[in-house]
Structure 1
Amino acid sequence: MDRQASGRAAEDRALQWLLQQGLRLIERNYRCRLGEIDLIMEDRDCLVFVEVRKRGHGSRVSAEASVDARKQQKLIHAANLYLSRYPRRASQPCRFDLIALASDSERATPLWYKDAFRP
């Protein structure tokens, strides 16, 4: 499976898991000039910007560690642009979550880091 297909499968898996946890999908693969947000969801009244990461055993950096300060800033800027385009959402509380997936098992429970970082 190529990298793009693998990433899509990881996002599919994360999305299904988050839906089972009661979140509601707002948008998938939001793209703008500042970057991309994998999933935008609602958790009750909170708008959630979700980054999905999948890493294998051979990776030098864990899925969690791969969302470094630079990546966080890109996500924050993209989220701010999203909120400026959809002003009715700007009044909602927001958070940034991370879903980390291990590539070695399709049955393993995703690791869900709620409020993984803050602007």
Structure 2
Amino acid sequence: MDRQQRGKDAEQQAEQYLCQQKLKLLERNYHCRFGEIDLIMQTRDTLVFVEVRFRRSAHFGGAAASVTPSKQRKIIKTAQHFLSTHPQHNNKNCRFDVIAFEYGAAQEQPLWYKDAFRI
């Protein structure tokens, strides 16, 4: 299985996991000129912008550590673009979560970092 397919599989597993946790999917793979957000979910009055990461090895710090400050800035700009083009969500709280599939961890039980970073 190639790297791109593993990433898509991880995103699908993350979506299923978050739906089981009572989050509702709004958008999948939202992209604009600033970047891409893997999943945009909603729980009550909060929009959740989700970055999904998969790493086969913890050699370079693992999946969660791969969401660098540069990547965070891109996700934030993309989220701002989403909000500017979807004004119906402007009055909702927002947070940025990371779903990490770490090497050696059970595939069906990802690590969920709620409110992983802020603006």
> What interval of TM-score do these two structures reach, taking the shorter chain for normalisation?
over 0.9
Q: Distance in 2 between matches of 1:62 and 1:20?
A: 25
Instruction: Tell me the amino acid that sits aligned with residue 92 of structure 2.
Output: Q
> 2:63 is paired with a residue of what secondary structure?
coil
Note the C-alpha offset of 1:102.
Answer: 2.4
Match of 1:54 in 2: 54
Note the C-alpha offset of 1:59.
Answer: 3.7
Match of 2:73 in 1: 73
Note the C-alpha offset of 1:104.
Answer: 4.1
Contact 2:101 2:107 in 1 (8 A): no
Q: Which runs of 5+ in 1 are unaligned?
A: none
Match of 1:36 in 2: 36
So what's the TM-score if we normalise by structure 1? 0.94
Match of 1:111 in 2: 111
| Number of residue-to-residue matches in the alignment | 119
Note the C-alpha offset of 1:64.
Answer: 1.1
Note the C-alpha offset of 1:60.
Answer: 1.6
> 1:75 is paired with a residue of what secondary structure?
helix
So what's the TM-score if we normalise by structure 2? 0.94
Taking only the aligned residue pairs, the percentage that are identical comes to 54
Q: Which runs of 5+ in 2 are unaligned?
A: none
Note the C-alpha offset of 1:107.
Answer: 4.0
Cα deviation, 1:67-115, whole Å, max 9, x if unaligned, reads: 1110000000000000000011111000000000125455451110100
Contact 1:102 1:108 in 2 (8 A): no
* RMSD between superposed Cα atoms in Å: 1.4
Q: Distance in 1 between matches of 2:108 and 2:86?
A: 35
Q: Distance in 1 between matches of 2:106 and 2:51?
A: 18
